[in-house]
With several copies, the nearest count.
Chain A
Amino acid sequence: MDRLRFLKQHLEENFIVASLILLILLFGTASDNFFSVITLTTILNQLPALTVITVGMTLVLIVGGIDLSVGSVMGFSATVVGVATVAWGLPLPFACIVGLMAGLMCGLTNGILVSYLALPSFIVTLGMLEMARGLAYITTNSQTVYIGGAIQKISLPLPIIGVSAALLVAVATVIVAHLALTRTVMGRFIIAIGTNEQAARMSGIDARPYRLCILAASGALAGLGGIFNAAYLGSADPNAGIGFELSAIAAAVIGGTSLMGGRGSILGAFAGVLIITILQNGLAQIGVSEPAKRLITGAVIIVAVLIDRWRGTHSAS
């Protein structure tokens, strides 16, 4: 019984993997230099920020909410890191902690409003989307802050391992979140709350602290994404992360997370991040025009979910 389920789940994730491989093959044939170590490094370099943010988003979606503020919070946190390093002269680790705290604060605010004032998360985080962007502009006086070499080390390959510290942290985040969701009591509770809050309440689970935690975590992860973004750019861009929320949601949903709550997979979401990142890269390598990029991106998002759905009905019947 259990074996069968495992196999089925395996197959499900394989469908996403199949989409991924298809995409890679397509770009491989369309572009001469797609299959190269440098392409791989390029893609790996781009992953960390979207990955950690998508992990947060997936958790929020599973608990039955949505977090539209991640992109702005990421931008805000990046500017905080930038200003903390450059203007206040904090050493990098402290600056990063301050950046994380900025993200956490935004997340906590979202969480308190959603949990304890029972406001819809869509609206609260939409408000925060505006406000965190405003804060990012205030922090930097709307200017890009050049940080310089030190912070870039976070996103440059480490000597022996060959991948960056940012990527390691991002992958660790994926693993920890996956285990927390599937193996812990808290994970069960989060899924229960997302599935049927009323029933969870009748089972003695108070949804509010969990909602609060998850939204705060999403804020903190967006803060982490901000650090990665600053490291990636070597500077703090107050406009960083515009539209990131939609990419993160798309990645989560491509990976099988339901927008209705109660259902989702962190590993699947990670596969979704890979698909989106590879798509962006491949399209840039082929050098297609901006309109064509839009058309192709839109189509791939729909087709990826279509494949997922087709698999769903196919394996169910």
Chain B
Amino acid sequence: GDAALDPHPSKSTDDSDPRPVVALIMKSLANEFFVTMANGARAHQAAHADQYRLIVNGIKNEVDLAEQVGLIDQMIASRVDAIVISPAGSKALVPALARAVDAGIAVINIDNRLDQDILAEYGLEIPFVGPDNFLGAKMVGQYLASRLSEGDEVAILEGVTTAFNAGRRSAGFNEAAAEAGLNVVAQQSAQWDQTKAVTVTSAILVQHPNLVAILCGNDNMALGAAAAVNQAGKRGKIIIVGFDNISAVQNLIRDKTILATVDQHADLLAVFGIESALEALSSTMPIKDKSTPVDLITSESLD
């Protein structure tokens, strides 16, 4: 309604504090990627404490859509001024976000892009700030392919199969492999989980003795794959690449157990998102999508 057009929806009941409230809603606070994101946001808020207040929330497990919808409703109930959200699902959150927009809240989508068709159905335009997962995966895939030759056998460890990002990353890996003529002999899900990744990798190593490389949808699974390779006594014979650039993986990249990973700058993601939100609160101009950088991380780039 009208509230949505109001550029300064300062409905916060706490009149003593005129600063707008920004809610950052993430997929999980139990995952390093999102912890980095939250830390980036908190650092930004500390540096700009006079401009806004921040509430950070995440769901218990990365796939619980209902809990995230609940969070959105709670933030509406808390009368926040803006929501910066990394959606756990690209479709199911749209209706709840539509409610938020109706309540006059500025909504910014980060990390994982909402489904454009459904947004259109609700007549919503929610600005997106985020990296291109497909591009990142393709980039690391190509870097790997440059070390391999045509026809080499490779395997892909996928994240939770229902997650949008997991699919985008696998697609990027697959395209890079196809371009270089690599042979993808196995693609299994290890549910983003390190221990499961060891089990799955071990089994793949047995089944495909000629395997030369493993492309992992995140660094946790890359760590698991590295442990499995180590246990199978194939250390140095199998190349592993990951995604996310978590801190634990950096040692392994330095000692060349893992070849490369992709940094999508989680901290910047939140900061860009918050800046877009603040912009939306202070201007009447429509906010443009922003793309955050994806960088290839190798042992050279770490030094």
Interface members, chain B 240-284 (any A CB < 8 Å): 246-252
* Chain A proximity of B161: nearest CB distance (Å): 4
B77 near A148: Cβ-Cβ < 8 Å: no
Interface members, chain A 12-40 (any B CB < 8 Å): 31-34, 36, 38-39
| Known A146-B91, A287-B57; contact A36-B206, beta-carbon cutoff 8 A | yes
Q: What is the CA–CA distance of A188 and B232 in the complex, to the nearest angstrom?
A: 43
Stretch from A59-67, A100-108, A227-235 forming part of the interface with B: A227-235
| Interface check A109, CB cutoff 8 A | no
| Known A234-B95, A237-B66; contact A36-B77, beta-carbon cutoff 8 A | yes
Residues of A within 8 A of B (CB): 31-34, 36, 38-39, 41-42, 45-46, 49, 133, 137, 141-146, 148-149, 152, 155-156, 229, 232-235, 237-243, 280-282, 284-287, 289-291, 293
Number of A-B contacts (CB under 8 A): 230
A146 near B29: Cβ-Cβ < 8 Å: no
Chain B at the A interface: SS class: helix
| Interface check B107, CB cutoff 8 A | no
B interface, size bucket: 35 or more
Hey, which chain A residues are within 8 Å of B91, CB to CB?
Answer: 144-146, 235
Stretch from B126-134, B146-154, B196-204 forming part of the interface with A: B196-204
Residues of B within 8 A of A (CB): 13-14, 23, 28-32, 34-35, 55-58, 60-61, 63-67, 69-71, 73-79, 89-92, 94-96, 115, 118, 121, 160-162, 186, 188-189, 193-195, 198-200, 202-207, 209, 219-220, 223-224, 226-227, 230-232, 246-252
| Known A144-B92, A290-B58; contact A39-B66, beta-carbon cutoff 8 A | no
Among A33, A233, A286, which residue has the most Cβ atoms of chain B within 10 A?
Answer: A233
Q: What is the CA–CA distance of A282 and B77 in the complex, to the nearest angstrom?
A: 11
A156 near B231: Cβ-Cβ < 8 Å: yes
Q: What is the CA–CA distance of A156 and B227 in the complex, to the nearest angstrom?
A: 10
Hey, which chain A residues are within 8 Å of B56, CB to CB?
Answer: 287, 289
B28 near A281: Cβ-Cβ < 8 Å: no
